[in-house]
Chain A
Amino acid sequence: MKKWAELALGIVTSIGGFLEVGSIATSAQAGAEFGYQLLWVLIVGTLSLAFLMEMTGRLAAVSRRTYVDHLRQCFGVRFFMAPLIVVLIVSFLVLASEVGGVSIALQMATGIGFQWWAVPVALAGWLLLWRGTFGVVEQGTAILGLVALVFAVGAVKLHPHWGEVVRAALPSAPAHDRARYWYLAVSILGASVSPYLFLFYSAGAVEDGWTEEHLLVNRVTAGLGNVFGGGLAIAVVVVAALVFSTRGIRVDRYEQISLLLASPLGRAGVALFLATLCITCFGSTLEITLSIAYLLAQGFGWEWSENLKPAKDARFAMVYTVVIVAAALPIAIGVDPLALTNLSMTLTAASLPLTVVPLLVLMNDREVLMKHVNGWMTNGALVLIALLSLVLFVAALPLQKLGGG
């Protein structure tokens, strides 16, 4: 019974936590400009994330240590500094984008400029991290994040041509604006496969005390949870294709995205969209802040746990305190949240090799994983994801310049 409850909670957490500022913005842009044509990229991104989460979760459950711990120990401190610094910078930009997402949702609801909301949002997040436990942060926000299911309802109510949606699962070349098409593809992958997602998942497995007995929970959470969560991002693309693309609307500002659900769901759709943006971005704000604190604490061997009182892991608590307030500053001084989101998604995509390629070694280390090392299928998937990450590393920045708009 307990196992079923864990499975259900794991899936709910993955679904509720899937959408965030990057996936909402990039999916809406993709649907508006290219209809269903970029759905295949979302599917690639979702499957890649599912594999990476399953592997980092398995590594944590079997060894009872996080991926970051292994990264530092296996490859040495000198190598470890590269992913540490890059992931820190990229995660910080994504964090600032999430704070921007909450702030813009509050602006749309109240009429008070987003700049004024950034610091209060950061303080609310900090208070929850200071007082709350890992369960509250992870499951509380994810359960509230189920409001994002409204996109699935909106997509169904718009009666899309499902045959065309299914056909879009296969890659196709763009008929126009090639650079923009591939730029959005890179952004979608950056939003889907953010390193913070699997670093947080791995740390969460240790926080929750996972052992080998949790391998089934891990597999189901990473697999089904992400597939259902990815379904929500697909729903955003479908709604944007039917509401925006048919009218020639491009998404240049977050305010435009507020119209997405007005057509299928009326006034309730607008309110639920604002709730979705606010809650999912706030949940991600907490997760990324913790992820950065985990990265530094695990990297330097400090005491760390969101379940400990801040006095017991003072350096860990200090990091999340400083980081969440600092991330509010770009938004507070008026940096455009959508431009920041797009830039951070591209940089995230470019940073992937540093966290993905080392997994090829770690997931085949029999001393650590014993009989739970990767099989041929997971190794095959990991090699493909690693190759994809190398392509993204080379292509992301040029595409940002050519197609970033």
Chain B
Amino acid sequence: MTVSRTQHHRARRPAAIGAVLLLAACGPAPTLDDALATVHSWTATTTLAGDHERSGVLSHRLAAQLRDRGADAHREETQSLDTLARSAGDRRRAQAALDSLGRALQTLGAQPAAR
């Protein structure tokens, strides 16, 4: 009886491990709204940082780092939006958001990192 219960538990173990691994592998699929929210967030970040840089609150060095991270986000989200935007309307929204981020990035950290 004890042996069979032990064997039963052993047989269950791979299933339990499999369930945990499956759970670990199955995150929610990214959506268009998630990707757009990320782009809008970086546009707002870059705009705020640009305002602070122009008023001398933020150093050009730090502004340049924010610009680089924003550019990373622009690159990553361009790829995501490419696959997530299915209709023509989605593609227009995605392009408008990416253009907006691109414009904000151009105004940030353009000065030499002197301060």
Contacts and interface: CB of A to CB of B under 8 A. Distances in A.
Contacts of B110: none
Contact of B52 (A248, A250, A255, A262): A262
A353 B44 CA distance: 40
B41 A250 contact: yes
Contacts of A259: 45, 48-49, 52, 58, 66
A248 B40 contact: yes
Given A179-B28, A248-B40, A108 B48 contact: no
Given A262-B52, A267-B57, A252 B38 contact: yes
A108 B61 CA distance: 8
Contacts of A270: 52, 57-59, 62
Contacts of B47: 247
A404 B52 contact: no
Interface stretch (B1-9, B10-18, B19-27, B81-89): B19-27
A76 interface: no
Given A259-B49, A401-B24, A111 B57 contact: no
A248 B24 CA distance: 29
Nearest to A104: B65
A258 B28 CA distance: 30
B64 interface: yes
Interface string A107-141: 11011000000000000000000000000000000
Q: Which of B23, B28, B42, B45 has the most CB of A within 10 A?
A: B45
A157 to B, nearest CB: 14
Contact of B62 (A255, A398, A402): A255
Contacts of A243: 48
A86 interface: no
A398 B28 CA distance: 11
B55 to A, nearest CB: 8
Which secondary structure dominates chain B's binding surface?
A: helix
A247 B65 contact: no
A256 interface: yes
Nearest to B72: A253
B23 A397 contact: yes
Given A179-B28, A270-B58, A401-B24, A107 B65 contact: yes
Q: Which of B37, B42, B57, B69 has the most CB of A within 10 A?
A: B57
Contacts of B61: 110-111
Contacts of A250: 37-38, 41
A269 B59 CA distance: 12
A308 B98 CA distance: 59
B110 to A, nearest CB: 15
Contacts of A110: 61
Interface string A374-387: 00000000000000
Interface string B25-43: 0111000000001101110
A258 B62 CA distance: 9
A149 B114 CA distance: 29
A247 B26 CA distance: 31
Q: Which 4 A-B pairs have the closest CB atoms?
A: A250-B41, A247-B44, A111-B61, A401-B27
Interface of A: 107-108, 110-111, 179, 243, 247-250, 252-253, 255-256, 258-259, 262-263, 266-267, 269-270, 397-398, 401-402, 404
